[in-house]
C-alpha cells in the first residue's frame, strides 16, 4: 500500500523532531501502522533555515513557505500543525479541516481556547484532530485519559505539566538560585516557550489542564474559567519554610470533580515531600489521575523537547493512519465523551474552591498576637493543622517574627475573609502570603 502522506506546517523544535523520529523508526512504524507514513511536504516561514536543518534528507521533501499550498495539495492526507499559537495556526487548522484533511497538532493554546470550534468543524467534515503532543509532551496522558481509563468516573487530576517552572523551582530549592537566574538556565536549555511569560505565569500549564479536564469530565474546553497563578511572585523564603514543614512547592494544575462543580486551577502548591509528585524534579512532567475504579495512577516523563514531543506526534500519525478509513462514528470522540453527551457542570470560581492553606505573616513579638490570629481563624471556622513561629531572618533585633500557619481544608473565600481581618491587626506588620496545599491523593 502507498504510504500515507503528511504535510508539515512549521519546522521548529517539534516539527524537526517529528521528521527525524519518523525517518529513523520508519520500518517499525510501518509494521505498526500497516502502511508507511511519509512527510512529503513542509511549509515554513524561513525555508533556507529548514533546508540547512534537513541536510541530506532535503531531497525527500518538497519545501516551501506557502502553508496553504501544503494544505490544498490533494496528495496530502494529514496536516501536522507545528507552528503554535492561536493566530495563523487556527486559520490553517480550520482550512485543513474544511479541505477534509486530518490534523495532528501539538498546539495546547489553540485547543484550550478554540477547541470547541475546531472539534465542531472536524465533526462536520468527518476528520480527526489528534493532539497527544499538546499535553505533557512525550507522556501519553491523552491516550490514558481518553481510552485507558475509560471505565472510570475520574475524580481528580493533579499534574506538574510545565517543565520550565518545575526546573526553576528545583533549581531554586536545590541550589538556592534566585528566580531570574533559574529562568535564564531554563531558557538556555530550550524548555521555555518563546515568550516565557506563558510558562512562569501558569498559562501554558492552564492550557494543558483545560484540555485534560475536558477529557476527564466530559465538559467543553473552558480555558477562560481556569484560575491561573504562576511562580513569578513566589518568595524563596516560602520554599524554605515549606521544606522545614515537610512540603515541596510545585506549580500544580489541579482539576477535581466536587458536588458543587469542577475545580480548574493552576498555582504554586505545597505538597507533602513524601508524595511521588513531590520528587518530580527538573524539567520532568508528571500527572496523577484518580479514578473510582483504578484508584491513583501516575504518569511520568519528559514534557518538552524535540524527540519526546515527536514521540507523541508520531503516535497520533499512526492512530490517524490506522483509523482514517473507519466510519467517523466508530472513532474515539475528540473529548472522549460523545459530543452530544458533554455535561454543563459549572467550573467553580476560585473563591468556592476547597483547599488547605499555608499562611505566612510577620508579627510584632508581643503577648497575645498569636491568640488574636487564632481567634480570627476559629471565628471563620478554619481549623489549624500546624503553627510555626520562625525567627524573622531579614529583620535584626527588632522583636518581629515570622508566623507560618497551616490550615486544614477550608473554603477559599473564608480564608480570604480571615486574612483581611488578620492584616487589619496592629500587631501584624506584613501582608499575609497565602499558598494552597494539595492534601488529596
Ligand atoms: N514550555 C513548555 C514547558 C514546553 O516548559 O513545559 C512544552 O509545552
* Domain co-membership, 148 together with 284: yes
> Which residue in 258, 301, 263, 307 sits closest to 282, CA to CA?
301
pLDDT in tens, the chain (441 residues): 899 999 999 999 999 999 999 999 999 999 999 999 999 999 999 999 999 989 899 999 999 999 999 999 999 999 999 999 999 999 999 999 999 999 999 999 999 999 999 999 999 999 999 999 999 999 999 999 999 999 999 999 999 999 999 999 999 999 988 888 999 988 888 777 767 999 999 999 999 999 999 999 999 999 999 999 999 999 999 999 999 999 999 999 999 999 999 999 999 999 999 999 999 999 999 999 999 999 999 999 999 889 999 999 999 999 999 988 888 888 999 999 999 999 999 999 999 999 999 999 999 988 889 999 999 999 999 999 999 887 655 554 677 899 999 999 999 999 999 999 999 999 999 999 999 999 876
Residue 209, CA atoms < 13 Å, CB-side half-sphere: 32
Which atom of ligand 1 sits closest to the CA of residue 192?
1
Task: Report how far ligand 1's centroid is from the alpha carbon of 26 (Å).
Answer: 27
Task: Report how far ligand 1's centroid is from the alpha carbon of 406 (Å).
Answer: 31
Distance CA 391, CA 374 (A): 19
* Domain co-membership, 423 together with 366: yes
Which atom of ligand 1 sits closest to the CA of residue 166?
5
Residue 121, domain CATH? 3.40.50.720
Which atom of ligand 1 sits closest to the CA of residue 304?
7
Distance CA 336, CA 150 (A): 8
* Domain co-membership, 38 together with 89: yes
Ligand 1, pocket-test mutation among 193, 194, 251, 287, most atoms within 8 A of CB: 193
* Domain co-membership, 84 together with 207: no
* Domain co-membership, 250 together with 186: yes
- Residue 21 φ/ψ, nearest 5 degrees: -65, -40
Distance CA 403, CA 382 (A): 16
The residue whose C-alpha atom lies closest to atom 4 belonging to ligand 1 is: 304
Q: Which residues are catalytic?
A: 208
Task: Report how far ligand 1's centroid is from the alpha carbon of 217 (Å).
Answer: 24
* Domain co-membership, 252 together with 293: yes
Residue 16 lies in a domain: yes
Residue 342 lies in a domain: no
Task: Report how far ligand 1's centroid is from the alpha carbon of 300 (Å).
Answer: 14
Which helix (DSSP H) or strand (DSSP E) does residue 376 occupy? Answer: helix 369-379
Residue 63 lies in a domain: yes
Instruction: Give the total number of structural domains in the chain.
Output: 3
Q: Cα dihedral sign for 338, 340, 343, 344? A: positive
* Domain co-membership, 279 together with 321: no
* Domain co-membership, 110 together with 130: yes
Which atom of ligand 1 sits closest to the CA of residue 161?
6
* Domain co-membership, 150 together with 280: yes
Quick one: DSSP state of residue 390? E
Bridge partners (DSSP) listed for residue 404 = 360, 388
Distance CA 38, CA 181 (A): 42
Helix (H, G, I), strand (E, B) or coil at 296: strand
Query: Between the CA atoms of 405, 407, 411 and 413, what dihedral angle is there, to the nearest 10 degrees?
Result: -10
Q: Which three cell numbers stand for residue 357?
A: 492553606
Ligand 1, pocket-test mutation among 185, 304, 305, 313, most atoms within 8 A of CB: 304
* Domain co-membership, 325 together with 237: no
Angle of helix 88-98 relative to helix 108-125, nearest 10 degrees, comes to 20
DSSP notation for 179-207: HHHHHHHHHHTT-S-SSTHHHHTSHHHHH
Are the C-beta atoms of 131 and 79 separated by less than 8 Å? no
Q: Which three cell numbers stand for residue 390?
A: 520562625
- Residue 432 φ/ψ, nearest 5 degrees: -90, 125
Distance CA 186, CA 192 (A): 6
Residue 355 lies in a domain: yes
* Domain co-membership, 202 together with 252: yes
The residue whose C-alpha atom lies closest to atom 7 belonging to ligand 1 is: 304
**316, exposed or middle or buried, with CB in 10 Å at 0-12, 13-18, 19+?**
buried
* Domain co-membership, 179 together with 233: yes
Quick one: DSSP state of residue 404? E
- pLDDT value of position 217: 98
Domain that holds residue 49: 4-138+306-337
Angle of helix 13-24 relative to helix 47-54, nearest 10 degrees, comes to 30
Task: Report how far ligand 1's centroid is from the alpha carbon of 36 (Å).
Answer: 30
Residue 378, domain CATH? 3.30.70.260
Pairing of strands 154-160, 284-291: antiparallel
Distance CA 247, CA 174 (A): 14
Distance CA 367, CA 400 (A): 12
Residue 346 lies in a domain: no
- pLDDT value of position 243: 94
Distance CA 36, CA 114 (A): 32
Residue 256, domain CATH? 3.30.360.10
Residue 266 lies in a domain: yes
- Around ligand 1, the residues with Cβ closer than 6 Å are 137, 162-164, 191-193, 199, 204, 303-304
Distance CA 140, CA 160 (A): 14
Amino acid at each position: 500500500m502507498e504510504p500515507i502522506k503528511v504535510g508539515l506546517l512549521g519546522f521548529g523544535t517539534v516539527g524537526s523532531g517529528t521528521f527525524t523520529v519518523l525517518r529513523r523508526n520508519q520500518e517499525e512504524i510501518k509494521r505498526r501502522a500497516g502502511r508507511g507514513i511519509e512527510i512529503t511536504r513542509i511549509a515554513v516561514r524561513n525555508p533556507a533555515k529548514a533546508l540547512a536543518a534537513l541536510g541530506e534528507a532535503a531531497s525527500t521533501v518538497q519545501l516551501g513557505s506557502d502553508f496553504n499550498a501544503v494544505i490544498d495539495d490533494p496528495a496530502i492526507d494529514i496536516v501536522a500543525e507545528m507552528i503554535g499559537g492561536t493566530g495563523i495556526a487556527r486559520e490553517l487548522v480550520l482550512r485543513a479541516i474544511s479541505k477534509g484533511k486530518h490534523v495532528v497538532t501539538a498546539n495546547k493554546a489553540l485547543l484550550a481556547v478554540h477547541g470547541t470550534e475546531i472539534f465542531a468543524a472536524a465533526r462536520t467534515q468527518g476528520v480527526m484532530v489528534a493532539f497527544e503532543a499538546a499535553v505533557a509532551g512525550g507522556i501519553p496522558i491523552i491516550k490514558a485519559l481518553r481510552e485507558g481509563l475509560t471505565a472510570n468516573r475520574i475524580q481528580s487530576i493533579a499534574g506538574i505539566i510545565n517543565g520550565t517552572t518545575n526546573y526553576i523551582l528545583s533549581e531554586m530549592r536545590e541550589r538556592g538560585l534566585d528566580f531570574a537566574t533559574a529562568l535564564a538556565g531554563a531558557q538556555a536549555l530550550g524548555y521555555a516557550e518563546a515568550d516565557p511569560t506563558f510558562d512562569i505565569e501558569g498559562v501554558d500549564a492552564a492550557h494543558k489542564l483545560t484540555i485534560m479536564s475536558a477529557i476527564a469530565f466530559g465538559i467543553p474546553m473552558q480555558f477562560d474559567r481556569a484560575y491561573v497563578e504562576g511562580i513569578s511572585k513566589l518568595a524563596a523564603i516560602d520554599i524554605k519554610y515549606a521544606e522545614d514543614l515537610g512540603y515541596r512547592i510545585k506549580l500544580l494544575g489541579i482539576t477535581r470533580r466536587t458536588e458543587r462543580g469542577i475545580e480548574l486551577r493552576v498555582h504554586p502548591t505545597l505538597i507533602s515531600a513524601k508524595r511521588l509528585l513531590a520528587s518530580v524534579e527538573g524539567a520532568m512532567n508528571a500527572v496523577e489521575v484518580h479514578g473510582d475504579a483504578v484508584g491513583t495512577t501516575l504518569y511520568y516523563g519528559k514534557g518538552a523537547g524535540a524527540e519526546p514531543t515527536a514521540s507523541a506526534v508520531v503516535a497520533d500519525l499512526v492512530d490517524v493512519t490506522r483509523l482514517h478509513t473507519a466510519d467517523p462514528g466508530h472513532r474515539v470522540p475528540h473529548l472522549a465523551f460523545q459530543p452530544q453527551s458533554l455535561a454543563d457542570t459549572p467550573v467553580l470560581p476560585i473563591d468556592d474552591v476547597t483547599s488547605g492553606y499555608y499562611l505566612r505573616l510577620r508579627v510584632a513579638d508581643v503577648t497575645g498576637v498569636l491568640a488574636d490570629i487564632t481567634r480570627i481563624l476559629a471565628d471563620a471556622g478554619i481549623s489549624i493543622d500546624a503553627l510555626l513561629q520562625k525567627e524573622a531572618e531579614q529583620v535584626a533585633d527588632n522583636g518581629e517574627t515570622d508566623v507560618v500557619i497551616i490550615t486544614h481544608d477550608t473554603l477559599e473565600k473564608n480564608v480570604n475573609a480571615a486574612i483581611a481581618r488578620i492584616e487589619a491587626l496592629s500587631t501584624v506588620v506584613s501582608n499575609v502570603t497565602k499558598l494552597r496545599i494539595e492534601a488529596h491523593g
